[in-house]
């Protein structure tokens, strides 16, 4: 039998904690992550509520697989209504917090209402209590870690918390655990702050055992040797995700100076993963039971503390090339400040670069910016502005709204400089180079996201490569000479891999380990993980259906909030030819994109006029209960 889900229901208004049980036959349809989060939200939360009101729900969830002794399984998902986009909010993070949360016996915690004063939730197995956080309010993440561990008397505690940015309701505030793992996107930290919830604290618990030790050991067999033989994963460990930065720049697809170009000749080498490894990198961190060890740990004496980790690719781009910053130390400091204050580095960098373009084009001046000169490349203002945003001080108060809302207030064509989808700033993967990723940026329910589908370049690899063989297990078979096509098969590739990545997220698995193109574990291995890990006799068909179900629940949620096809678009700049470098003249074709969007809707079973799931599609996915709620 499929296990029941044990859920903590926390009423912050009345300071009451209850336990709810979700029967296994239901949990199997929504086995963790935002699939479970959405199941709970859609049942209990009415449409149209303010994301920062007590009526919003905030759900932390893991999966039946979380905490098993294998690489790439310790991830937590936070689901809520996003204060940044007004759409569904979804964000994932790794570390040790998820594994210990599950080992304490819980599958999810739902927060509702608002506490009268600041509190944190402490979980010690069945003993779950709300405690005052008055003394923690206003403090940065590193200080809070120290104070809570001293207060409870346990240095092994795992703490997921907000910093001052979440307390001040910055719309792209995030939730930080381990001081350097972020549930970064969609403003989940602001929702937590609106509820006066400072942290969720988990006591370390006994590691979990798999259902079949013999079968499970076969999955773990020779993992170290497989890592050594795998160039992609080896490079990930050696250079982090920032190892891709200089390569993208070389081919002309590193977003630079607010996406005006894909070429950053004056600074890409300075802020790359290889330069980091040669200069300020002091160690490689990992998540629970993971052999990859991809997390960066950096230090700059007197300036950057290794406690706060180090910049990954998205951060190095958003706080580096987006802003024209050429100093690795400045990027590392900016990353640290975001982790201290609890800010999404992607939206933060995107909003800063937006402001820089507004300044350089004369839409704002020093009377608006508190006297600061916001030219691209002015690295001195980046750390200062991050603190002003987190504290909502001066010009930072406007930028704390995110670039889309700031553009509305600035006016004068500023909206053309806001590089967003549904109000969320773009990650650093260019649709001009990866058109299927651009399509997913547009249709993704929680805004532009680079980890919601596989990327186009994998279809240019050798047909006999492991990546292509595993993609073939998903029905993806067509290869390409280059990445620029957006034909029917590329749209199918986007949709099918989106469904696969959706089950990866639902099960709380790391895409660098369990994604179909990273050569460590593949789709059929995931089926075995379910079988040997928790005794779940499943199939790739069932898992893909679960992934598709989650996506449709998200789209249904958004339809309730007024979202439709008009919101599935990309910034105008993506359709204009790039000006220089090896990508000069390249743009995403507008007509081809519009045709691909319609094709995607048809593949997904959505209405081509609205982009919303049809009744037939919802029934096919066992979501007829949503129609009864309408």
Cα–Cα distances in Å, from 426 out to 20, 285, 345, 450, 618? Answer: 38, 27, 11, 8, 29
Model pLDDT, residue 519: 65
Compute φ and ψ for 311, nearest 5 degrees: -70, 135
Give the span between the Cα atoms of 317 and 428, in whole angstroms.
6
pLDDT in tens, 164-206: 999 999 999 999 999 999 999 999 999 999 999 999 999 999 9
Cα–Cα distances in Å, from 382 out to 202, 312, 334, 429, 551? Answer: 34, 17, 7, 22, 36
Compute φ and ψ for 258, nearest 5 degrees: 60, 40
Average pLDDT over residues 467-485: 93
Tokens of 368: 């608006």
The full DSSP string for 534-579 is H-----HHHHHHHHHHHHHHHHHHHHHTT--GGGS---GGGGS---
145 pLDDT higher than 80? yes
- Asked if the 222-425 domain carries CATH number 3.40.50.2300, the reply is no
Instruction: Tell me which residue of 534, 539, 544, 559 sits closest to 612, measured CA to CA.
Output: 559
Burial class of residue 137, CB neighbours in 10 A (0-12, 13-18, 19+):
middle
Strands (E), 267-404: 281-285, 295-298
579 pLDDT higher than 80? yes
Domain boundaries, the chain: 5-202, 222-425, 435-629
CB distance 460 to 501 below 8 Å: no
Instruction: Tell me which residue of 434, 455, 448 sits closest to 232, measured CA to CA.
Output: 455
Average pLDDT over residues 266-275: 96
Q: What percent of the chain has pLDDT above 70?
A: 99
CB distance 95 to 339 below 8 Å: no
Burial class of residue 158, CB neighbours in 10 A (0-12, 13-18, 19+):
buried
Architecture of the structural domain at 5-202: 4-Layer Sandwich (3.60)
Average pLDDT over residues 587-615: 98
223: confidence class by pLDDT, cuts 50, 70, 90: confident
pLDDT in tens, 5-28: 999 999 999 999 999 999 999 999
Model pLDDT, residue 399: 99
233: confidence class by pLDDT, cuts 50, 70, 90: low
Give the span between the Cα atoms of 548 and 495, in whole angstroms.
9
Between strands 197-202 and 119-124, the pairing is parallel
CA atoms within 13 A on the CB side of 453: 33
**Number of helices (H), then strands (E), in the chain:** 26, 16
Model pLDDT, residue 232: 67
Average pLDDT over residues 150-175: 98
Instruction: Tell me which residue of 456, 568, 455, 553 sits closest to 501, measured CA to CA.
Output: 455
Burial class of residue 233, CB neighbours in 10 A (0-12, 13-18, 19+):
buried
323: confidence class by pLDDT, cuts 50, 70, 90: very high
Domain 435-629: state its class. Answer: mainly alpha
62: confidence class by pLDDT, cuts 50, 70, 90: very high
CB distance 456 to 434 below 8 Å: yes
Does residue 220 sit in helix, strand or coil? Answer: helix
pLDDT in tens, 81-134: 999 999 999 999 999 999 999 999 999 999 999 999 999 999 999 999 999 999
What contacts 25, CB < 8 A, 6 or more positions away?
2
First to last CA, the chain: 32
Tokens of 546: 């679960």
Model pLDDT, residue 147: 98
Tokens of 232: 């992609």
From the centroid of its chain, how far is CA 379?
Answer: 26
Give the span between the Cα atoms of 249 and 272, in whole angstroms.
10
- Per-residue exposure over 459-489, b if at least 16 CB sit within 10 Å of its own CB, e if not: beeeeeebbbebbeebebeeebeebbbbeeb
453: confidence class by pLDDT, cuts 50, 70, 90: very high
152: confidence class by pLDDT, cuts 50, 70, 90: very high
Query: Same CATH topology for 5-202 and 222-425?
Result: no
What contacts 203, CB < 8 A, 6 or more positions away?
100, 104, 122, 123, 124, 125, 152, 154, 156, 157
Model pLDDT, residue 578: 98
Least confident window among 28-37, 150-159, 224-233: 224-233
The full DSSP string for 277-294 is HHTTEEEEE--TT-S---
């Amino acid at each position: 039998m499929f296990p029941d889900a044990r859920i903590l229901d926390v009423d912050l208004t009345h300071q009451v904690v209850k336990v709810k049980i979700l029967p296994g036959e239901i949990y199997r349809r929504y086995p963790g992550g935002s699939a479970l989060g959405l199941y709970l939200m859609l049942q209990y939360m009415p449409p149209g509520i303010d994301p920062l009101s007590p009526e919003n729900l905030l759900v932390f969830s893991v999966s039946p697989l979380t905490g098993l002794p294998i690489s790439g399984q310790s991830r937590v998902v936070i689901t809520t209504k996003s204060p940044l986009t007004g759409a569904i909010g979804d964000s994932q993070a790794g570390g040790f917090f998820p594994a210990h949360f599950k080992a304490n016996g819980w599958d999810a915690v739902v927060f509702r209402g608002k506490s009268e004063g600041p509190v944190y939730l402490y979980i010690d197995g069945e003993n779950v209590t709300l405690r005052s956080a008055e003394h923690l309010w206003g403090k940065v993440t590193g200080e809070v870690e120290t104070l809570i561990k001293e207060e409870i008397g346990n240095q092994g505690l795992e703490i997921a918390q907000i910093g001052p940015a979440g307390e001040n309701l910055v719309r792209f505030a995030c939730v930080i655990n381990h001081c350097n793992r972020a549930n970064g996107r969609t403003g989940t930290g602001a929702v937590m702050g609106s509820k006066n919830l400072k942290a969720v604290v988990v006591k370390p618990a006994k590691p979990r055992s798999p259902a079949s030790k013999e079968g499970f050991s076969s999955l773990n067999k020779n993992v170290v040797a497989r890592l050594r033989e795998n160039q992609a994963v080896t490079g990930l460990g050696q250079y982090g995700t920032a190892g891709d930065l200089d390569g993208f720049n070389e081919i002309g697809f590193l977003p630079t100076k607010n996406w005006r170009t894909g070429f950053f000749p004056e600074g890409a080498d300075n802020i790359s993963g290889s330069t980091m490894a040669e200069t300020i990198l002091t160690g490689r961190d990992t998540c629970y039971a993971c052999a990859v060890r991809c997390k960066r740990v950096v230090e700059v004496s007197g300036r950057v503390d290794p406690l706060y980790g180090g910049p990954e690719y998205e951060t190095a781009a958003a706080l580096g090339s987006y802003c024209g910053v050429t100093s690795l130390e400045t990027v590392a400091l900016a990353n640290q400040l975001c982790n201290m204050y609890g800010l999404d580095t992607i939206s933060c960098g995107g909003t800063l670069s937006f402001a820089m373009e507004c300044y350089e084009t004369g839409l704002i001046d020093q009377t608006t910016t508190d006297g600061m000169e916001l030219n691209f490349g002015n690295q001195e203002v980046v750390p200062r502005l991050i603190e002003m945003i987190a504290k909502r001080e001066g010009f930072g108060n406007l930028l704390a709204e995110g670039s889309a809302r700031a553009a509305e207030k600035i006016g004068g064509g500023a909206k053309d400089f806001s590089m967003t989808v549904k109000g969320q700033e773009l990650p650093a993967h260019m649709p001009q180079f990866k058109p299927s990723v651009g399509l997913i940026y547009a249709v993704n329910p929680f805004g532009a996201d680079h980890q919601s589908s596989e990327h186009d370049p994998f279809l240019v690899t050798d047909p006999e490569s492991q990546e292509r063989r595993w993609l073939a297990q998903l029905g993806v078979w067509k290869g390409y000479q280059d990445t620029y096509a957006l034909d029917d098969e590329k749209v199918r590739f986007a949709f099918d891999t989106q469904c696969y990545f959706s089950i990866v997220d639902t099960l709380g698995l790391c895409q660098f380990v369990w994604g179909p193109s990273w050569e460590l574990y593949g789709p059929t291995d995931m089926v075995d993980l379910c079988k040997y890990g928790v005794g779940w006799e499943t199939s790739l068909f069932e898992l893909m259906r679960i992934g598709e179900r989650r996506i449709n629940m998200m789209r249904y949620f958004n339809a309730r909030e007024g979202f439709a096809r008009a919101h599935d678009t990309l910034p105008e700049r993506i359709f204009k030819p790039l000006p220089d470098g090896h990508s000069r003249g390249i743009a995403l074709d507008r007509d081809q994109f519009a045709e691909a969007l319609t094709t995607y809707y048809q593949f997904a079973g959505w209405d081509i006029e609205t982009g919303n799931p049809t009744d037939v599609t919802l029934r096919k996915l066992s979501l007829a209960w949503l129609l009864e709620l309408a």
